[in-house]
Amino acid sequence: MLALKLQNLFLMLLKFKFCKRLSLLMIISFLSLNHCKSSKVSKKKDYTKSKPIVKPSEETTLSIKIIDYAKQFQGVRYKFGGTTKKGMDCSGLVHESFSAYNIQLPRISRDMAKRGKKISLNTVIPGDLLFFKTKNKRNAINHVGLVIAISSGNIKFIHATTSKGVIISSLAENYWNNSFAEARRIL
């Protein structure tokens, strides 16, 4: 097919008495364009053999829901014993967030620290709880936060502080890093 096209082109050029060199140059150009790599038809991908969709586990989905529930309280002022948008304390935030999904935890942070499984900090995932001893006289756990994200080893958690209310903090902050006591997995 290609040879026939070339032959016809060559004969046509000779009929019009073009220069032989020009004819040869046009034929070479035609051949080079016809075999250009970019002119090849791309292969279509076969999307029928796609990888199976991996669904998040029930625990992961539940963790996300609990975290989202807790985040709705961001900016709420601190109130000792509080469990509503009118005022919230740290254990109230965690208690209400888990309770919204029928997971009952004690109302006090030091009692929460007896639930679930104690885990190392390097295995923490969103939905886990962080417990702190914030320089109190009894040297006991008196603060809790809910892990919401981990990025490059930086653990972010939501909690309620007496000075700023419900906020998101990082365990990389000196105060929280120095006060950290343990981490626990509830789910």
Q: Would the pLDDT of 160 be above 70? A: yes
| Predicted local distance difference test score (pLDDT) of residue 105 | 97
pLDDT in tens, 65-107: 999 999 999 999 999 999 999 999 999 999 999 999 999 999 9
CA dist., res. 140 & res. 130, Å (int): 14
User: How sure is the predictor about 44, in pLDDT bands with cuts at 50, 70 and 90?
Assistant: very low
Report the catalytic residues.
Answer: 90, 143, 159
- For the chain, give the longest Cα–Cα distance: 108
| Predicted local distance difference test score (pLDDT) of residue 56 | 57
First-to-last C-alpha distance (Å) of the chain: 70
| Predicted local distance difference test score (pLDDT) of residue 82 | 95
Percent of the chain having pLDDT more than 70? 68
> Domain boundaries in the chain?
58-185
Of 112, 121, 109, the closest CA to residue 161 belongs to 109
Q: Which residues of 33-51 are buried (b: 16+ CB within 10 A; e: fewer)?
A: eeeeeeeeeeeeeeeeeee
Instruction: Average the pLDDT over each of 9-18, 116-125, 136-145, 169-178 and give the range with the smallest value.
Output: 9-18
> How much is the CA Rg of the chain, to the nearest whole Å?
34
- Across the chain, how many H-helices and E-strands are there? 6, 8
Q: Would the pLDDT of 51 be above 70? A: no
Q: What does residue 156 show for φ and ψ, rounded to 5 degrees?
A: -105, 140
| Predicted local distance difference test score (pLDDT) of residue 8 | 57
pLDDT in tens, 17-27: 544 554 544 55
Q: Would the pLDDT of 136 be above 60? A: yes
Instruction: For the domain made up of 58-185, give the CATH fold.
Output: endopeptidase fold (from Nostoc punctiforme) (3.90.1720)
| Predicted local distance difference test score (pLDDT) of residue 58 | 67
pLDDT in tens, 99-123: 999 999 999 999 999 999 999 999 9
| Predicted local distance difference test score (pLDDT) of residue 153 | 87
